[in-house]
Amino acid sequence: MANIVRSDDVRTQNRAKIMAILRMKGSMSRTKLAQYTGLSAATITAITADLLERNVLLRKEAPKTTNSRGRPRVTLTFNPEFACVGVIVLQLNHIMMSIADYQGSTIFTDEITLETTTISSETLLEKLAGFFLAGMRTAGISTDQLRHVAVGVQGATDIHATKLRWSPIIQHQELQIKQSLEPVFRVPVSVHNDCNMIAQALRWNEPELFHSDFAAILLSQGIGMGLYHNGELVQGKRSSATEFGHMTYIPNGALCRCGRHGCIEAYASEYAIYRNAKMLGDNSEPCSDISQNEMDEIIAQAHDNVALAKSSYDRAGSAIGAGLASLFALLDPFPIAFVGTGSKAKDLLENSIRAAIGEMPMSFQPDQISMRFYEDKNPLISDGCAVTALIEVDKNINSNNGKVLKIAV
């Protein structure tokens, strides 16, 4: 029996294709849209005319030059005033928020410190909501303009993007973020692992390298990973998964802040490097208040070949490299982005990472693997959340005949 495809379904798919290309590539002419999407000029014209009429898109004329003839070239771009999206990032003792317009430009940011490890779940959720709403008021953004809020969290989220299942930065499990915040914001709220958001941002910002297969590894107080394989974000059946930092490196080894022993994080995180450099012992409780100045001092000592500091970074790199070698044995090599303050020690880590990978019997050379380092994780987490929120708004438009729906309460 032949499948019957409704014209509405085809139009929705084509509109989604056009919006995805504009979202990824930016301002573009109808001719270029036809080239990228494979759609006919008539289809492009009909769909973009509808989006222009609804103020989803704007026309943008290229400036005339002295030698130009005929009509000025017109490109299409998202209307920044059509909607805005919100971002909340929950980290250890730290909350960030931002607001982006429909083109993806950040129009407001703010941050506060908060004792996340001791606060009650009710108070934490109230603080998240109140802090974000205060930022909207300061920015002069009305709730009618807001269309989606993406929350980036340090820890494992559920596959439906509704809650924080587990995190070392809070004392509660199954934190119902979506359920708590949606009635307050009156827009859809989604919850995402911060490393996945870093990977999302890299994929959109640097698609020439980070596109089909790559990993973003967080080097900070914790060790995390966002992984793309065959162009898709890798997640589990029930959670955000890819807990690279909690893969076993040495069975029954050093104490990890997750409570287990021998995790990669227990050797490669900042608290692990600090613990080893200060001779505190592998079974001492992980420190949660290590300052950047203290880590910078250890980095300086390692550069001066102070034995304990140098060996701390050598074993951190070995732990990361061993974990990557295991992944490469399953999936073949792919580019790696190392992100976070731990990247300040890239010259101390990279050689030991590559050396550990090279100990595995593989058909490639470790120096062939692309590795890039980015010290500041926060802009990438925020960018990833904003892109994710904007894509959800685009989907909403496509599934609701060009209209953006709000949640009724």
Q: Is residue 205 one of the residues assigned to a domain?
A: no
pLDDT value at 172 more than 80: yes
Is the domain of 216 the same as that of 193? no
Q: Does residue 126 surpass a pLDDT of 90?
A: yes
Q: What is the total count of domains within the chain?
A: 3
The verdict on residue 408 lying in a domain is no
Asked if residue 215 and residue 359 are part of one domain, the reply reads: yes
Query: Is the residue at 110 inside a domain?
Result: yes
Nearest-angstrom CA–CA distance, 389 and 89: 13
Q: Is 301 exposed, middle or buried (0-12, 13-18, 19+ CB in 10 A)?
A: middle
Q: Are residues 67 and 126 in the same domain?
A: no
Ramachandran assignment for 305, one of left (phi > 0), alpha (psi -120 to 50 degrees), beta (any other):
left
What integer pLDDT is reported at residue 71 of this predicted model? 62
Q: What is the share, in percent, of the chain residues with pLDDT greater than 70? A: 93
In whole numbers, what is the pLDDT of the chain averaged over residues?
A: 91
* Domain match, 180 and 266 both: no
CATH number for the domain that contains residue 340: 3.30.420.40
Does residue 361 share a domain with residue 232?
Answer: yes
Given 78, 100, 115, which residue is the final one in a domain? 78
Q: What is the pLDDT of residue 249?
A: 97
Regarding predicted confidence, which is higher, 57 or 364? Answer: 57
Q: Is residue 184 part of a domain?
A: yes
What is this structure's pTM? 0.91
Residue in 219, 239, 227, 66 with CA at minimum distance from that of residue 163: 239
133 and 244 share one domain: no
Residue 1 has pLDDT above 70, yes or no: no
Are 109 and 163 in a shared domain?
yes
Residues 255 and 343 in one domain: yes
CB neighbour burial string for 332-344, b if at least 16 within 10 angstroms, e if fewer: ebbbbbbbbbbbb
Which CATH number is 66's domain given? 1.10.10.10
Cα separation, 359 vs 95, whole angstroms: 41
221 with 338, same domain: the answer is: yes
| Mean pLDDT score, 235-247 | 88
- The mean-pLDDT minimum among 169-178, 233-242, 310-319, 398-407 falls in 398-407
pLDDT band (50, 70, 90) for residue 86: very high
Residue 218, in any domain of the structure: yes
Assess whether pLDDT exceeds 70 at residue 65.
Answer: no
pLDDT at residue 64 in the model: 60
* Residue 300 included in any domain: yes
Please give the pLDDT value at position 408.
53
Please give the share of the chain, as a percent, with pLDDT higher than 90: 78
**pLDDT on residue 316:** 98
Least confident of 68-82, 106-120, 214-228: 68-82
Q: Are residues 174 and 294 in the same domain?
A: no
Residues 61 and 96 occupy one common structural domain: no
Pair 29, 159 in one domain: no
Residue 61 belongs to a domain: yes
Where in the sequence is the domain holding 47, given as residue range(s)?
7-78
- Tell me the mean pLDDT in the region 343-357: 95
Distance CA(319)–CA(325), nearest Å, equals: 10
**pLDDT exceeds 50 at position 219:** yes
- Residue 1 within a domain: no
Predicted pLDDT at 401: 58
